[in-house]
Amino acid sequence: MRKKVLILSEAFGNGHTKAAEALAQVISLQEPSVQIHIIEIGKMLHPAINDLVLRIYKQSITTFSFLWKKYTIICQNRTIPLLTGCSL
């Protein structure tokens, strides 16, 4: 039986999508027989809400870019990310 991998991602800022694609590429290189699917979960579950959230996200990083820069600096300086904050 052919192995299958499902990667759940989200299109916010394009970083998640690129990370999902890179992960899929590495898996394909190491295990060419594996069937891989990448699903943007928000689009699949709630397309209208997903579009609204994406617009709000993009507007917030444009309008409040100084806060995102500060957040990035804080995350980079942590040795152990907070569960509610910085991602690994």
pTM exceeds 0.85 for this model? no
pLDDT digits (tens, 9 = 90+) for 26-40: 999 999 999 999 998
Structure tokens given for 60:
């917030």
Task: Give the per-residue SS3 of 23-70.
Answer: HHHHHHHHCCCCEEEEEEHHHHHCHHHHHHHHHHHHHHHHHCHHHHHH
End-to-end CA distance of the chain: 33
pLDDT digits (tens, 9 = 90+) for 32-79: 999 999 998 888 888 888 888 888 888 888 888 888 788 888 877 766
The reply to whether 50 and 13 lie within a common domain is no
The reply to whether 23 and 53 lie within a common domain is no
Structural domain boundaries, residue 30: 1-44
Q: How far apart are CA 72 and CA 60, in angstroms?
A: 15
The reply to whether 38 and 53 lie within a common domain is no
Q: How many folded domains does the chain comprise?
A: 2
Predicted pLDDT of residue 79: 62
Predicted pLDDT of residue 17: 86
Q: Residue 88 above 50 pLDDT?
A: no
The reply to whether 88 and 59 lie within a common domain is yes
